[in-house]
Amino acid sequence: MSTITDEGKKIELYIPSIMGFEKVAMECAASIAKIMGFNDDRIDDLKTAVSEACLNAIEHGHGMNASLKVGITITMAESSLQVAVHDKGGGIGQIDLPVIENKIEDESNTRGWGIFLIKNLMDEVKFEKTAEGKNVVRMIINLKKRSEGQGSDIPEKS
């Protein structure tokens, strides 16, 4: 890459609150991660995390109101990539992470895995509320961490 300014390290996009458009943000983040040199495993982790953050914004933040846009800000740093997904919703508040055994027993509510996946796949995750009232999920993925020795058979988290 040729010399890039600080402002140039920030990429912003907006998607309508329609299921399926999360893929636009997901592929954009993946393309940037590839340019930065992330390996394929970590790019797959990033894709799932970005997709889930956008889905939460589309569904819960905006109630699938297609006229509301979900904003995605992707910031490249020396050794990490940050993705901030913002919506105009009220935020997620305190949520209990799901447990599969409970979901298997109570089939009426099998959903709610988005935050769980984001927290498990990203190196840092923050949930913030801006002064303008926007709800932001800020995720950071590091170039080096978890890049090696992580096969498909990772231990299950309880």
Partner 1 sequence: MNRDIEISVSKNNDVSILNIKGDVTAVTGEKLEDAYEKISAEGAKKILLLFDKESYINSGGIAFLISVASESKKREQSIRLTGLSEHFQKIFHMVGLTKYMSLFPSEESALDGF
Site residues, partner 1 (CB under 8 A): 18-23, 41, 44-45, 48, 51-52, 55, 99-101, 103-105, 107, 110-114, 116-117, 120, 150-154, 156-157
CA distance 43 to 118: 13
CA distance 131 to 138: 15
Residue 80 φ/ψ, nearest 5 degrees:
-155, 165
Of 8 and 112, nearer to partner 1 (C-beta) is 112
Handedness of CA 38, 44, 49, 51 (dihedral sign): positive
Sheet holding 124-129, edge to edge: 10-16, 69-76, 80-87, 135-142, 124-129
Of 9 and 92, nearer to partner 1 (C-beta) is 92
Of 130 and 147, nearer to partner 1 (C-beta) is 147
Q: Cβ of residue 149: shortest distance to partner 1, in angstroms?
A: 13
Q: Cβ of residue 54: shortest distance to partner 1, in angstroms?
A: 10
Of 17 and 82, nearer to partner 1 (C-beta) is 17
